[in-house]
């Protein structure tokens, strides 16, 4: 199936991005990566400690594209500083911008996110900003140099699914950038639905990490994302209000 997906000059065959948080043990991470087929993994810089015996990055295979995130940043200035530290630490030039002031729902500050994106894109970063799904903000992020936009499906870690579905549809239809649905997806069926809508990819962590069997759940999400993308490419049939027969109602044999 010819279906190219390129971000920051890197061709990706997997449209499932994963995270590194909440696992019962870090040694699960390479196994989850293998079972999920993911090629991009996000990690908070504050969890990277080169002097630790259990440095999180040591558990990530070298073929993976690292997506450091600016978790903990409350302003654009803080996000920019974290991104620069991540690059200086050898984590590459990809960055997921997270600027969050709301400590109850952990909703992103879109205005500060645009500011950080503009600064970092000008410095050569491949910027993937986490955002509340707002069309005007997405347009500003594109103008600022974002490589993709990452609107939330529901609050981080909630496993509540696609609560922002109609807003996501608008972004997918109107923004000429990859739309990666990030946060809130709790079930493989929800990941498949996001892909059926035309999302370029999904990023999730909690749904896999907190599953009874994370490895099997990683496989389930891999298959769901693939199925959803295939359904989108195939073109979903029309939705009808009334019933329509699958077979003609004339020409019966007696």
Instruction: Select from 251, 200, 180 the least CA-distant residue to 5.
Output: 200
Which one is catalytic: 96, 104, 142, 230? 96
DSSP 45: G
Run of H or E residues at 65: strand 65-69
| In contact, 144 and 118? CB cutoff 8 Å | yes
Residue 9: partners with Cβ closer than 8 Å, 6 or more residues away = none
Residue 170: partners with Cβ closer than 8 Å, 6 or more residues away = 133, 135
DSSP letter string, 181-204:
EES---SHHHHHHHHHHT-SEEEE
List strands edge to edge, sheet with 180-182: 150-151, 126-131, 94-97, 65-69, 40-44, 16-19, 201-204, 180-182
Run of H or E residues at 80: helix 76-88
Quick check: is 96 catalytic? yes
Distance CA 36, CA 223 (A): 8
Q: Please classify residue 165 by burial: count the beta carbons closer than 10 Å to its beta carbon, then call 0-12 exposed, 13-18 middle and 19+ buried.
A: middle
Catalytic residue ranges: 96
């Amino acid at each position: 199936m010819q279906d190219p997906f390129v971000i920051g000059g890197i061709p990706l065959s997997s449209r499932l991005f994963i995270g590194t948080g909440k696992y019962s043990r870090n040694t699960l991470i390479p196994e989850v990566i293998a079972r999920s087929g993911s090629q991009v993994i996000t990690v908070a810089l504050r969890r990277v400690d080169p002097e630790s015996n259990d440095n999180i990055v040591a558990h990530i295979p070298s073929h993976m594209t690292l997506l450091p995130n600016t978790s903990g940043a409350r302003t654009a200035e803080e996000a920019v500083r974290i991104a620069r530290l991540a690059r200086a630490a050898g984590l590459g030039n990809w960055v997921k911008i997270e600027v969050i002031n709301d400590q109850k729902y952990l909703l992103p500050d879109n205005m500060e996110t645009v500011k950080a994106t503009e600064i970092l894109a000008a410095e050569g970063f491949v910027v993937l900003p986490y955002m509340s799904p707002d069309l005007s903000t997405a347009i500003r992020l594109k103008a600022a140099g974002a490589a993709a936009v990452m609107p939330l499906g529901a609050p981080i870690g909630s496993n509540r699914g696609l609560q922002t579905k109609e807003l996501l549809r608008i972004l997918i239809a109107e923004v000429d950038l990859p739309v990666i649905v990030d946060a809130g997806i709790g079930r493989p069926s929800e990941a498949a639905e996001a892909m059926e809508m035309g999302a370029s990819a999904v990023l999730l962590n909690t749904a896999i990490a907190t599953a009874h069997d994370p490895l099997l759940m990683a496989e389930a999400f891999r298959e769901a994302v693939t199925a959803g993308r295939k359904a989108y490419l195939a073109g979903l049939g029309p939705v009808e209000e009334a019933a329509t027969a699958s077979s003609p109602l004339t020409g019966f044999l007696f």
